[in-house]
Amino acid sequence: MNYAKAIHFLHSLQLFGSRFGLETTRKLAAQAGNPHEQLRFIHVAGTNGKGSTCAMLESIYRHGGLRVGLFTSPHLVSFAERIQVNRQCIPESEIVRLVEELRGWLAKVSTETHPTFFEAVTVMALRWFAEQRCDLVIWETGLGGRLDATNIVTPLASVITNIGLDHQQWLGDTFDKIAAEKAGIIKPGVPVLTAATPGRGLEVIEQTARNVGAPLTVVVQATRLHSQLSGAAVPAVATGVSPVKGHAGETPAPLTESSAPLRLPLPGQHQQFNAAVAIATVRVLAKQLPIEESTIVASLESVHWPGRMQIVKSPDGRVLVLDGAHNCDGAAALRTAFEERFPGARPTLLLGMLADKDWRAIVYTLVPLAGRIVLAPVSSQRALDPADLRAACESNFPNISLTVCPTVAEALENTSTDSLVLITGSLYLVGEAMECLGLASRPPVDERALNEWSASRG
């Protein structure tokens, strides 16, 4: 088997869709030797900010001297992005080897419950992290939490960044229903941290933590530091709440003024809040995984997470901003961050979205930023027809200048003389744009299709 055949085999697993449940993943993990039993985890769920929070936690613990695994999804360009050790993507040769091993594991699993793509990749990642003797794995959920394949682990801490409305067809149509699914990662006695807010899932998380005896820390914008990046206040950490004991638990100490200013390379107050969640997590785990405050600051100031308000300046002075905002809360956070960073600017908005998102609300949020709009289809089976997107833009903003392009490459060419371009609407769109712009190496085979998923047929 070569690399192209390995990717093709993984792609073939998408026939089995996405299944919600843990039984098949546990069976497959057993065939792989239960590698998760050799590892320590921080399990991260939430509607927005999961990836950024994971990147921050990874950076903190790696700078603290640990060997850190990082498991995230979807990937922007290369499948290998999903499985990293000390921010080094898994080599192609090791993907081939693990896929060959995976085929042997799959042969021993009942065809009635054939593992899905995500279940298979989850176990491949566990095997790789165990082989690499990772000291800690930052472990992001795929979808939801309670029945997500990643939920076979018992972590050192569970993190739920926030609760918003996304994937409602799978997770429920209210904040409380979605929160119940995310809160499914909470384990008995394991600390849980969240930045969820009252009326948007916090009450469900509190009740779940209480039911299983999990100490809860709620991160709130209470303690502030100054950010040199935007001039805005950085929420540090956190109000500690222990619903099990019925009184305030230990509150993680905030960063001291001696460590200010904190220069986050990821723009936006939402990223500052993600940093607060990461800091709170490190403080809660300080006895098991001690990290110096200077290390926390240095690691956050050097964290890298592409496609999240990533600012690219070209030699001719043009500025491109790439952000994968794909739901209402993400679009609102992007708009606030963009207006802070580029006050008064009217960028060209290069927009493409998936049809199963609340794309009309995203249009309503982001189009007012734009001087003109360029639309392009996302390379996905779930892509929204640009004609529908055009109709929504024109009906709400009839005076906007608008161009529709048949491909992302042509859309980028159309904007090639514009001084400020905001590329957003989908991580899939951002990934393709990064390839076209030469911001990421093009893999030997097209791997974007591995991001596709649908409900299980089984």
What is the Cα–Cα distance from 320 to 347, expressed in whole angstroms?
9
| pLDDT bucket at 357, cuts 50 / 70 / 90 | confident
What per-residue confidence (pLDDT) applies to 202?
A: 95
Q: How far apart are the first and last CA of the chain?
A: 28
Decide if domain 3-301 falls under CATH 2.40.30.10: no
Q: Which residue has the higher pLDDT, 449 or 95?
A: 95
| pLDDT bucket at 109, cuts 50 / 70 / 90 | confident
pLDDT at 453 over 70: no
Q: Which residue has the higher pLDDT, 233 or 28?
A: 28
Spatial strand order of the sheet with 348-351 comes to 310-313, 319-323, 420-424, 348-351, 372-375, 401-404
pLDDT at 162 over 80: yes
What is the Cα–Cα distance from 234 to 274, expressed in whole angstroms?
10
CATH architecture of the region 310-439 = Alpha-Beta Complex (3.90)
pLDDT at 236 over 80: no
Q: 326, 307, 313, 301: which is closest to 425 by C-alpha? A: 326
Domains 3-301 and 310-439 belong to one CATH topology:
no
Q: Which residue has the higher pLDDT, 454 or 301?
A: 301
pLDDT at 418 over 70: yes
DSSP-assigned beta bridge partners for residue 414:
none
pTM for the full model?
0.90
Domain boundaries, the chain: 3-301, 310-439
| Amino acid at position 190, single letter | V
- How many C-beta atoms lie closer than 10 Å to residue 457's C-beta? 10
Mean pLDDT over each residue of the chain, to the nearest integer: 87
What is the Cα–Cα distance from 51 to 56, expressed in whole angstroms?
9
What per-residue confidence (pLDDT) applies to 458?
A: 38
What is the DSSP-derived secondary structure letter of residue 190?
A: -
pLDDT at 221 over 80: no
